Structure 1
Amino acid sequence: MSERPKNLLGLVPVLNRWKYPILVLSIIAMLGSAGISLLLTNEYQSTTIIYPANILSVDPDRILQGEKIEVTGSSVELDRLTTIATSEQLAYFMIYKYKLYLDYGYQDMESDINKFGAMNMWYTNLDVRPNDRDALEISFISHDKYKAAAIANDIAARIDVLNQELPLENRKRVMEIYKDQYNYYSKAYLNLRDSLNEVRKNYGIYGLADEGYHLSKSVIETQTELAQAKGELEVMQQSGGSTTALKARINGLEKALATLTSSGSVYNLNKYAAGLKATKDLDSIQSNMLSRYIKAKANFDNAKIALNGKISTINVVQKAEAANRKIKPIRWLIVAGSTIVTFLLSVIFVSLYELYKRENYRFE
């Protein structure tokens, strides 16, 4: 009985005996894999590349204050964009928008099984990875090369939208605070303005130019004319002249002086002196409240602008375009791999079979 071979040369006689079956199986595998590969649908991959902007530098509140926009963000922003890109929220949005569940063999997204299957296919076709230049590469695979490019670009746009919405709730709360301040100072300013107008009306102080000067001048001039008229009256009475007109003039001057100095008239010196301090105090308070009101209004207006502002949080370096070449299937590789695997399995099988026969023969 011959000894078992100690090297691969012992396989040569085995392969020689089984060469035709092995050859037939290899040819069948080659033809079968070729036919199957021809039935496979071509798949195309499109890639878009984005840089994250610093989310703080593109905050509308900061921009309104004159701060500059930074083109690139830190690794924190890159991680945030990666998280958004791989989130279920974005996945569901894209699957529903492009009806990808139909491409994945599902009629709807009603059942949990369909949702799970569609989501699994989505993440299989999606590739999101940071590159060595701190940019984010977003790739998507589809049977339609134009759809693949459109989805990749739309993913980048959706990332920007979701990234902008992250601080939106806090910004709304800030705007409500500014709105409350604006309403409070607006009401307080109007009340002070009405109060000041009422005080001016009561005391006859309307803030006219040189109002106090002219009022004091009128009182002094009237008093002077009255004193002169009374002096003339004394002289006329001593000389025996007619005093009727002079007395009438004195009477008119006394009434005029009473009007200028009594509290019953609108313009009078006593009321003016009494109301001057009150109006000055209210005017000072009103000026202070006016400055606060203007500042509160500016803050509220800026908050509204910031809330409605749409400033991109990403910088698109490369937009996805329709691929010129398919990414898979690689048909020659499928055929070659199937043929080689079938050949090796056939060799292993016949070798084991020959070994089995030889061992049975030894023990007989």
Structure 2
Amino acid sequence: MDSSENFNITSIIIFLFNKWKPIIIITFLAAIVSIIISLVIEEEFKSSVVIYPASTSSVSKALLTDMSRAPKDILKFGEEEETEQLMQILHSDEIKAKIIAKYKLMQHYKIDPAGKYSKTQLLKEYDDKISFKKTQYQAIEITVFDTDNQIAANIANDITAILDSVYNKVQKERALMALEIIENQYHSEKIYIGQLEDSLSELRGLGVFDYENQAKIYTESHTKALESGNSRKAKLLQDKLDILAKYGSTYNSLSQLHKKEIEQLSLLKSKYQEAKVDAYQNLPHKYIVNPAQVSEKKSKPVRWLIVVFSTISAFIFAIFLMLILDNLQSVRKKLILDKQNTTKLA
């Protein structure tokens, strides 16, 4: 077993020794080409922003609701759900469009706008140079590569600024619809209560304002007037009792309904105030842990790595190429010998 392994190693060494010239030439040429390519590739600078999502708790509920019943503290960091929401917003077409327009990326990336696939090429370049990823601590890292270190930092910081405006816009569309619904309900309730109060005022004008107490007092006074022989007073009290009998139940029903609707109006008013806060608030949806800084040192290309990787790859490729060519040559020789032997036998 050991002798076989030694034989194979010896064979490889002999093979490499015999083929060292083409292998070295190929490797050397690859090294030269990789050096030239690495020098031609434009240098790019890297800038990164690290943000944490804020809690998406309703601002109105957090600020207007009793703290003991408030669902979440708006000052808390968000959790996985909030991180996923921010990731979706960061990948939105609106943020891409704003950044592309502000920095004229079609021109900056040297893409021909008249080209057949210019937009596709632009979006691919954008995705290659601008990326978002979640960290293990549920934060989000926004990374931008650019040939201009100032632009790289500016784009990274602007994305975080635009993030809030896009997020608020998405929420505001829904919040304004909710505000319109609750506002209509609130004003309708106020009108209805006004109508109830008008009806109650009319009944009070007729002398009906506390059915049970009035009925008790009028009945007692009417009885005393009859007992004392004061017929005029008795008739006056009887007229009042007749009015109570006619309108008393209506007054009670309206009074109870009015009380119920006042409670409903109070609830609607609270919801209306909350809806207004939610519709017009513009609180940030993230905490900036590390804003982007202008990089002083290029991030890529790593020229030595390109050269080393290309040279090693070329060296391995050259060995395999020599092996293939050597095997092909052996097969060819064998075929020629077989053909010659066949001819002699014939």
TM-score by length of 1: 0.66
Q: CA deviation at 1:189?
A: 1.5
Which one of the candidate residues 314, 320, 325 is aligned to 2:292?
320
Query: CA RMSD, aligned part only?
Result: 4.8
Q: Specify the code of the residue in structure 2 equivalent to 1:197.
A: S
CA distance 1:77–1:281, change in 2 (3 Å): closer
2:91 counterpart of 1:92: no
Match of 2:25? 22
Within 2, Cα distance between the matches of 1:37 and 1:322? 23
Within 2, Cα distance between the matches of 1:278 and 1:342? 100
Within 2, Cα distance between the matches of 1:339 and 1:283? 94
Q: CA deviation at 1:324?
A: 2.5
CA distance 1:28–1:315, change in 2 (3 Å): closer
2:81 counterpart of 1:82: no
Q: Specify the code of the residue in structure 2 equivalent to 1:307.
A: A
Q: CA deviation at 1:279?
A: 5.4
Within 2, Cα distance between the matches of 1:357 and 1:125? 48
Match of 2:126? 122
> Number of matched residues?
318
Q: CA deviation at 1:290?
A: 3.0
CA distance 1:7–1:290, change in 2 (3 Å): closer
CA distance 1:82–1:261, change in 2 (3 Å): closer
Consecutive unaligned residues in structure 2, runs of 5 or more: 1-9, 219-229, 338-346
The more displaced of 178-187 and 285-294 is 285-294
Match of 2:73? 69
Match of 2:225? none
Q: CA deviation at 1:325?
A: 1.7
3-state SS, counterpart of residue 48 of structure 1: strand
Equivalences for residues 142-291 of structure 1 within 5 A: 142-201=146-205, 203=206, 282-291=254-263
Within 1, Cα distance between the matches of 2:16 and 2:307? 25
Within 1, Cα distance between the matches of 2:276 and 2:19? 85
The more displaced of 87-96 and 294-303 is 87-96
The more displaced of 334-343 and 99-108 is 334-343
Match of 1:233? none
* Deviation digits for residues 259-287 of structure 1 (CA, Å, limit 9, x no counterpart): x8898xxxx99879977776565444434
CA contact (8 A) 1:11 1:351 kept: no
The more displaced of 289-298 and 176-185 is 289-298
CA distance 1:111–1:200, change in 2 (3 Å): farther
Within 1, Cα distance between the matches of 2:257 and 2:290? 59
TM-score by length of 2: 0.69
3-state SS, counterpart of residue 293 of structure 2: coil
Q: CA deviation at 1:337?
A: 4.3
CA contact (8 A) 2:150 2:294 kept: yes
3-state SS, counterpart of residue 49 of structure 1: strand
Q: Specify the code of the residue in structure 1 equivalent to 2:127.
A: Y
Within 2, Cα distance between the matches of 1:307 and 1:84? 19
* Deviation digits for residues 72-120 of structure 1 (CA, Å, limit 9, x no counterpart): 3333333333333334443333222322122222244x77611111111
3-state SS, counterpart of residue 11 of structure 2: coil
3-state SS, counterpart of residue 188 of structure 1: helix
CA distance 1:26–1:181, change in 2 (3 Å): same
CA contact (8 A) 1:52 1:81 kept: yes
Q: Specify the code of the residue in structure 1 equivalent to 2:84.
A: D
CA distance 1:197–1:33, change in 2 (3 Å): same
Match of 1:334? 306
CA contact (8 A) 2:182 2:271 kept: yes
The more displaced of 277-286 and 124-133 is 277-286
Match of 1:230? none
Q: Specify the code of the residue in structure 2 equivalent to 1:331.
A: R
Match of 1:102? 107
Q: CA deviation at 1:355?
A: 7.9
Q: CA deviation at 1:305?
A: 1.5
Give me the identity figure in percent. Answer: 24
Q: CA deviation at 1:188?
A: 0.8
Which one of the candidate residues 4, 12, 17 is aligned to 1:12?
17
CA distance 1:343–1:67, change in 2 (3 Å): closer
Equivalences for residues 336-351 of structure 1 within 5 A: 336-339=308-311
CA distance 1:274–1:170, change in 2 (3 Å): same
Q: CA deviation at 1:187?
A: 1.0
